[in-house]
Amino acid sequence: MHSSNGPILCWGEVLWDMFPDGRQLGGAVANVAFHLAQLGAEVQLVSRIGDDELGREALTRLDAVGVDTSLVQVDPERPTGQVNVELEDGEPRYSLSAHAAWEYIEMDDQAAAALQRASFMSVGTLAQRRAEGRASMHAAARARGQGCKLVVDANVRPVHLDHDWLGDLLRMADVVKINEAEAALISKELADGGDALAWLHGEASVELVALTRGAHGCRLSTAANSAEHPGHSATPGGDNVGAGDSFVAVLLFGLSRGWSLTEIAERGNRYAAWVASNKGATPSAGKPKLS
């Protein structure tokens, strides 16, 4: 997979993670965009916020790190999304508000034009939980420019899961990031009990699969090559919110700059460990240098 100079387009949810001690900017796709901008990438976000203070604050925060938010839509009726986050031994448990603005992202003319310029389109799966958002995302994925690679973070929430649309999205993907639980789910529901990575590379024709293992590192694989990293330790006192999203950001950043699989694996784990050492998904202070 060759490096590219086009912008990276992130499509999906922006919301606020509501912790017992305060709120943090969140949403898996917004987190990816945030970290890409911090790393120095040219990144655009297609999302939807409410016409409210939380929405305006989210844009201010994203603008401040360099995310292009000109494609973020404003919903005149629905509110900016929120999710209640509870931590158990540092592991997050999420409870989403219903009918938030991000569930109704539209495929408009501005987004369509941006997709023709983008080098990568990065999506999660949560923004598909309603038919409206799912139709828009799939239309966007099909309409992207010929040189635009589709990067899918499976990021599965079982309560919102439909195996058919998950399979459809994975079959469109050029790059897929999964964790071990998601690999097991793909094996059970899509691969008839077979190996998830073999199904992704074979049946789904995915070019690159990133399997993350939390504190135990990751494995990156193509049909011809692979690289593994044992992981970096997080500093106690943080949480794991957004660590996987930050790994996706480094994966995208590295692919856009032609890094090797070995470089992406090490740097992605190092950056994710830094995020996990902090509270919330979008820290800024003390960001590690990756090159």
pTM over 0.85: yes
- Full domain range(s) for residue 94: 8-276
Note whether residue 288 is domain-resident: no
Q: How many domains does the chain have?
A: 1
- Is residue 217 within 8 A of residue 231, CB to CB? The reply is yes
Note whether residue 289 is domain-resident: no
64-78: average pLDDT: 99
User: Can you tell me the distance from the alpha carbon of 255 to that of 257, in angstroms, rounded to the nearest whole number?
Assistant: 5
Question: Given this model, what pLDDT does residue 289 score?
Answer: 86
E strand segments, the chain = 8-11, 15-19, 22-26, 43-46, 48-50, 73-75, 81-88, 91-96, 120-123, 149-153, 175-179, 208-212, 218-221, 226-229
16-24: average pLDDT: 92
Question: Is pLDDT of 159 > 60?
Answer: no
What average pLDDT does the chain have?
94
- Between the two ends of the chain, the Cα-to-Cα distance in Å is 19
Of residues 225 and 85, the one with the higher pLDDT is 225
CATH of the domain at 78: 3.40.1190.20
Note whether residue 282 is domain-resident: no
Question: Given this model, what pLDDT does residue 88 score?
Answer: 81
Q: What is the pLDDT of residues 89-135, one digit of tens each?
A: 767 788 888 899 999 999 999 999 999 999 999 999 999 989 999 99
User: Can you tell me the distance from the alpha carbon of 169 to that of 211, in angstroms, rounded to the nearest whole number?
Assistant: 17
Note whether residue 163 is domain-resident: yes
Note whether residue 68 is domain-resident: yes
DSSP 198: H
Note whether residue 244 is domain-resident: yes
Question: Given this model, what pLDDT does residue 247 score?
Answer: 98
Note whether residue 285 is domain-resident: no
Note whether residue 18 is domain-resident: yes
